[in-house]
Amino acid sequence: MKKNALLGFYEKIQNGIHTLITIILGLMMVVILLQTVTRYVFFYSLPWSEELSRYLFVWMIMLGINIGIRDDMQVRIDIIDKVFKGRGKIVLAVFQQLVSLIVSAVFFYSSFNFIAIGARQLSPAMQIPMRYIYLCLPVGLGIAMLEILRKLVSAAKGELDEV
pLDDT at 1 over 60: no
Q: Show the beta-strand stretches assigned E in the chain.
A: none
Determine what percent of the chain is predicted with pLDDT higher than 90.
72
- Residues found in the chain: 163
**What local confidence, expressed as pLDDT, does residue 162 receive?**
46
Surface-to-core class of residue 70, CB atoms within 10 Å of its CB (0-12 exposed, 13-18 middle, 19+ buried): middle
Chain segment 60-75, per-residue pLDDT in tens: 999 999 999 998 888 7
Query: Confidence band (pLDDT; 50, 70, 90) for 3?
Result: low
What mean pLDDT comes out for the span 75-100?
Answer: 88
**What local confidence, expressed as pLDDT, does residue 75 receive?**
78
Query: Confidence band (pLDDT; 50, 70, 90) for 2?
Result: low
158: alpha, beta or left, given left = phi > 0 and alpha = psi -120 to 50?
Answer: left
Query: Confidence band (pLDDT; 50, 70, 90) for 163?
Result: very low
**What local confidence, expressed as pLDDT, does residue 115 receive?**
92
Surface-to-core class of residue 14, CB atoms within 10 Å of its CB (0-12 exposed, 13-18 middle, 19+ buried): middle
Q: What is the CA radius of gyration of the chain?
A: 20
Q: What is the mean pLDDT of the chain?
A: 91
Determine what percent of the chain is predicted with pLDDT higher than 70.
96
**What local confidence, expressed as pLDDT, does residue 131 receive?**
92
Question: Which of 2-16, 24-38, 46-60, 88-102 is predicted with the least confidence, judged by mean pLDDT?
Answer: 2-16
**What local confidence, expressed as pLDDT, does residue 132 receive?**
93
The whole-angstrom separation of Cα 22 and Cα 19 is: 5
User: H or E stretch including 20?
Assistant: helix 3-40
What mean pLDDT comes out for the span 154-161?
Answer: 82
